[in-house]
A and B are shown apart, each in its own frame.
Chain A
């Protein structure tokens, strides 16, 4: 028992260390790139020299956006300046809150995603953020000519919905990963063969469950449209779902390769992308008032591109950290699986706690522009 306990403890310690490393790195990147020149009221991050200069630059970028839009009114070539500034601003600004770095990074770790998927997720969620910002301003301000108060109400509603989504997304990950973690803890006997047998049983169970799900879906699809296409579609969806649920048992090489399937990442993209950045909304409204809405839209998308680069870089760090943990844990026979399952579970919990923290106001996020 003590042997197992110590193995579990070691596993947890390694998982926690990797997570903490990711968190600290994430924090360090924020501290270095964030525009706040003073750090937080309570946390004192050393920043100076070249970083101080970077912070100063970032502040300038945002303020230059309004000047560039004004200039573009009379001089068309100023649009290029506007796009260049927006791109640079997006890169730096993504270090700020509300851009889902924490969610995407944790998701990458929890869900064993590949680096390529991390990049795709980052870009897709940034694209969605831009689209939402354009949609809010396009509908509220341009079509309905609503007041700032109404727009801010819409922003706030979306904000709360996005926090709830993060919490829900985290809860789902915890549910999926928690099962894997506690099952990984259970094969207390050192015999790997036994563990394998148990897993096999589990697979059987899963399979049964799948059969049920398939039947149900099958019928449902027919009910809906009574159409051959409908059946095919339903089957496909169920298949993707299987892959996901399948994660609760031990990893197979095929699974580690992380097969594609947009559906799997779609919830992550939606969770992160639904919340637009306040800066983009301000820029869009300002451009609209100057009669250059299209320039604002272009700036928003370029800003999103810059944001995506930063978020993707952070997601890649998370993936490599996970890879290192995997290699380290693989060196220890037996305990390795516990370490990795523990790491995934911890990352999933982080998403849940982050969502709950945002929802109940314990976590400060970039707030909607409501004054």
Chain B
């Protein structure tokens, strides 16, 4: 009897983990962000922070602007948007700002954003903010990934100047990897390839925007 209860529990755990595993796989984007990022270096070569400019899609921009009173209809000044910017950066904390940095393989933390503000242009909101590194560090290889692990938000870097190094030494080399061109075409190829390979591809890395900087 006890044995069978234990067996039942074991099967339940298995069933639940299957359901939960797929639940994680189910997420799909509702918010699209076109990002531009700058990596900020101090004169001595330490990395001090990341400056982001994230432009939201028109649907989310409209949603975010709901209920905000303005002097001129349809025009939002930086001051009028200040409370919303505040809300944005506060909510982003929960998701670690979707920014994951590693210096020579070691995870780096960020402190709360500074210099944040919102801009409204061409019916889209752009959130600007700077993430200071908790303890500025030097690294031969810096890797920075920008993505939402739950894929509620789709991050795409801008076509023009997606990533800039600010104040980095001239010999530092930057590499930028996109998840794929439009988020689907490569996935299709990837899917087929993965199917043929027996499905052991590393998908997690595939939808991150990966920036690597090598400074010899």
Which A residues lie at the B interface, using CB under 8 A?
5, 8-9, 12-13, 15-16, 19-20, 23-24, 26-27, 30-31, 34-49, 51-53, 55-56, 58-59, 62-63, 65-66, 93, 95-97, 102, 141, 145-151, 185, 278-279, 281-283, 285-286, 288-289, 342, 345-346, 349-350, 353-354, 357, 362-367, 369-371
Going nearest first, the 9 A-B pairs with the smallest beta carbon separation are A48-B191, A52-B188, A37-B187, A35-B28, A48-B192, A16-B11, A27-B22, A41-B204, A147-B67
- Judging by beta carbons under 8 Å apart, are B23 and A363 in contact? yes
Instruction: Choose, from B56-64, B102-110, B167-175, the stretch at the interface.
Output: B56-64
- Which residue of chain B lies nearest to A345 when distances are taken between CB atoms in the complex? B8
Closest CB-CB distance, B150 to chain A, in whole Å?
A: 6
A63 to B29, CA, bound (A): 10
B side interface size, CB within 8 A: 66
Asked whether B201 lies within 8 Å of A44 as measured between CB atoms, the reply is: yes
Contact A353 B16 (CB under 8 A): yes
From B84, B190, B203, A40 is in contact (CB under 8 Å) with B203
Residues of A within 8 A of B96 (CB): none
Q: How far is the CB of A34 from chain B (nearest CB, A)?
A: 5
| B residues in contact (CB < 8 Å) with A | 1, 3-4, 7-8, 11-12, 14-16, 18-32, 57-60, 62-68, 84, 87-88, 91-92, 149-152, 179, 183-185, 187-195, 199-204, 206-207
- Structural contact, A24 and B27, CB atoms closer than 8 A: no
Give, as a whole number of angstroms, the nearest-CB distance from B10 to chain A: 8
Q: Is the CB of A9 within 8 A of B88?
A: no
Apart from A40-B22, A185-B1, A366-B152, list 7 A-B contacts with CB within 8 A.
A8-B1, A38-B203, A55-B188, A66-B58, A150-B67, A371-B60, A371-B88
Q: Provide the bound-state CA to CA distance between A93 and B27, in Å.
A: 10
Contact between chains at A279 and B66 (CB < 8 Å): no
Give the residues in chain A near B67, CB-CB below 8 Å. Answer: 141, 145-148, 150-151
